[in-house]
Amino acid sequence: MKLVFATHNQHKFKEIKALMPDYIELLSLDDIGCKNEIEETGETIDQNAVLKVQHVNDNYNYNCFADDTGLEIDELGNEPGVYSARYAGQEKNDEANIQKALKNLEGKTNRNARFKTVIALIINDQETLFTGICSGKITTQKKGKKGFGYDPIFQPDDFNKTFAEMTQAEKNKISHRGKAMKQLLDYLSK
């Protein structure tokens, strides 16, 4: 079965490909000739995931799934949320986003946060959503060199290290994306 993961982000693609069973041939947007960035104009994480799969389904006629992820920080009124990738500007700079989050939390004691991933799937024109949440806290400084995005400052509950200090396998077992992917894979195996 061919299935498109609607992303240009090679970090995400590699992370998801590691979870896919052998019977699924995973393709990226680049693999199907989609060079443009699909605009995320939704007001929610759910809406952005749906926009991406609809774009691929409508324009390339592939079965497809897409995710959208947001980091929600309690003390910041659930910011950056749907704007997580562009928190510090349209250029989607991970380091700038991290520094803005840390600066906005200076002097704050409530550092509770959660990552939320929504995966939208379209197979044979039928749309389904899967949601994964990983709760934790924002550290006061970056720790670790692995991962991407906010991984160096997100420490999941019941762990004493950040996502950026974990192996890919450790992260996949507990992460928001890993939880949503498990639901997707369970659905696909039926």
CATH number, domain at 162?
3.90.950.10
Catalytic residue chosen out of the listed positions 30, 46, 58, 68? 68
- In the prediction, which pLDDT does 90 show? 87
Interval 1-54: pLDDT, tens = 899 999 988 888 887 888 888 889 999 999 999 998 888 899 999 999 999 999
pLDDT for residue 93 is more than 90:
yes
Do 130 and 183 contact (CB within 8 A), yes or no? yes
| Number of structural domains the chain divides into | 1
Burial 62-97 (b: 16+ CB within 10 A, else e): bbbbbbbbbbbbeebeebbbbebbebbeeeeebeeb
d(C-alpha 151, C-alpha 130), whole Å: 22
Give the pLDDT mean for 147-155.
Answer: 95
Mean pLDDT of 92-102: 96
Q: Give the residue among 76, 161, 159, 87 at the shortest CA–CA distance from 110.
A: 76
Residues 32 and 14: their CA atoms lie apart, in Å, by 17
C-beta of residue 89 within 8 angstroms of C-beta of residue 29? no
Residue 69 confidence (pLDDT) above 90 = yes
Nearest alpha carbon to residue 5 among 56, 64, 68? 64
Segment 165-176 mean pLDDT:
92
pLDDT band per the 50, 70, 90 thresholds, residue 56: very high
Residues spanned by the domain of 31: 2-188
pLDDT of residue 80: 97
125 is catalytic: no
